[in-house]
């Protein structure tokens, strides 16, 4: 892997759902040693600290269930700008914060790719597809809508105009195991690459991932990875408010990251949905940092043994 300048962007987004705690995520990653883990691999690190949402005023949403629309829109503005500011200087790593942050990070990175004249791809490592809109969500939680926004679905009038829409055929979702009927209807008629846990059980996790990466490499694409804690099984990553049994194992998680490292295609990364209030002595934060290190070049024999004392 080539040496990278990694830019840590704290995004304490906690408005995409009702269960609080993700605002502590960025500092939990720092406490777990994310900067030190990256520098030990020969990369450089710049930490921008924690950002804040832009102050915006929005109209009352048509769907009365929508939770904290103005704050979500404000974060989208902030993170879209942050992505476009940091991407020319290095590899931004967005420390979440709930998954609503990806509306801004993905949109901003797609805009940067467009400016560079390169195709943009997104790898969604998540139990959920997050392709709802503010109009279709029956929970009102906007952490379930970022893919809907960045792909240009209707219903996001309050959000900033998309500088560059993400093509659905350039999205691969791995780890799916909780997709509701409305989302399933959208996905069934589209061309997002869907890799659910059954397919992983039958084919292994490396086969569909490598096929997707071949597509990215063939056109010199820029690849954004959005890693949700609930991609992993809750038995190994309990610090998330949306636990779904049957997720990826620690071994599968590291395999995905090592394959991504081998490809050297990743240009930006989200770490989302960590809720330290639900963690067990930092287990999940430490695992997410270890996975980030694997993405950036650490190999299985190089992993440290963590002391829990």
> Is 157 known to be catalytic?
no
Q: Give the tokens for residue 213.
A: 């990466």
Q: Is 128 annotated as a binding residue?
A: yes
> Is 224 known to be catalytic?
no
Q: Is 157 annotated as a binding residue?
A: no
Longest dimension (CA), the chain: 54
Q: Is 228 annotated as a binding residue?
A: yes
Distance in angstroms (rounded) separating the CA atoms of residues 307 and 58: 48
Q: Give the tokens for residue 272.
A: 């989302």
Active-site residue, selected from the candidate residues 143, 254, 258, 279:
143
> Is 273 known to be catalytic?
yes
> Is 138 known to be catalytic?
no
What are the φ and ψ backbone dihedral angles of 199, each rounded to 5 degrees? -60, -40
Decide: 287 and 33 in contact? Cβ < 8 Å. Answer: no
Active-site residue, selected from the candidate residues 98, 193, 273, 279:
273
> Is 230 known to be catalytic?
yes
For 247, which DSSP code? -
Q: Is 224 annotated as a binding residue?
A: no
Residue 210: half-sphere exposure toward Cβ, Cα within 13 Å: 10
Q: Is 254 annotated as a binding residue?
A: no
Burial class (CB in 10 A: 0-12, 13-18, 19+), 89: exposed
> Is 67 known to be catalytic?
no
> Is 279 known to be catalytic?
no
The percent helix, strand, coil of the chain (3-state, each to 5) is 40, 15, 40
Measure the CA dihedral 76/81/85/90, to 10°.
10
Q: Is 302 annotated as a binding residue?
A: no
Active-site residue, selected from the candidate residues 230, 252, 258, 270:
230
> Is 126 known to be catalytic?
yes
Active-site residue, selected from the candidate residues 77, 99, 132, 254:
99
Active-site residue, selected from the candidate residues 130, 233, 252, 270:
130
Pick from 243, 227, 226, 231: nearest CA to 280: 243
Active-site residue, selected from the candidate residues 43, 67, 128, 224:
128
Give the annotated binding-site residues.
Answer: 99, 126, 128, 130, 228, 230
Give the annotated binding-site residues for Mn(2+).
Answer: 99, 126, 128, 130, 228, 230
Q: Active-site positions? A: 99, 126, 128, 130, 143, 228, 230, 273
């Amino acid at each position: 892997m080539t040496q990278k300048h990694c830019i840590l962007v704290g995004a304490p987004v906690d408005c995409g759902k009702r269960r609080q705690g993700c605002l502590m995520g960025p500092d939990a990653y720092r406490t777990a040693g994310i900067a030190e883990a990256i520098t030990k691999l020969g990369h450089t690190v710049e930490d921008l600290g924690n950002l804040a949402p832009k102050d915006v005023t929005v109209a009352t949403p048509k769907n009365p269930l929508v939770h904290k629309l103005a704050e979500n829109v404000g974060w989208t503005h902030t993170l879209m700008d942050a992505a476009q500011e940091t991407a020319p200087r290095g590899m931004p790593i967005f420390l979440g914060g709930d998954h609503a942050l990806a509306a801004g990070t993905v949109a901003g990175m797609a805009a940067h790719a467009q400016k560079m004249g390169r195709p943009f791809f997104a790898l969604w490592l998540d139990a959920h597809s997050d392709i709802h809109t503010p109009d279709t969500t029956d929970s009102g939680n906007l952490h379930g809508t970022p893919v809907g926004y960045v792909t240009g679905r209707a219903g996001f009038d309050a959000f900033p105009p998309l500088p560059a829409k993400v093509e659905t055929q350039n999205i691969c979702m791995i780890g799916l195991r909780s997709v509701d009927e409305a989302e399933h209807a959208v996905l069934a008629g589209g061309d997002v690459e869907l890799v659910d846990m059954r397919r992983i059980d039958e084919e292994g996790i490396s086969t569909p991932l490598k096929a997707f990466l071949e597509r990215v490499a063939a056109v010199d694409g820029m690849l954004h990875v959005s890693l949700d804690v609930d991609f992993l099984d809750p038995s190994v990553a309990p610090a998330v408010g949306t636990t779904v049994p049957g997720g990826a194992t620690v071994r599968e998680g590291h395999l995905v990251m090592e394959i991504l490292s081998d490809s050297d295609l990743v240009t930006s990364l989200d770490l989302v949905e960590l809720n330290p209030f639900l963690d067990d002595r930092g287990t999940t934060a430490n695992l997410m940092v270890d996975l980030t290190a694997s993405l950036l070049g650490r190999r299985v024999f190089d992993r440290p043994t963590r002391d829990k004392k």
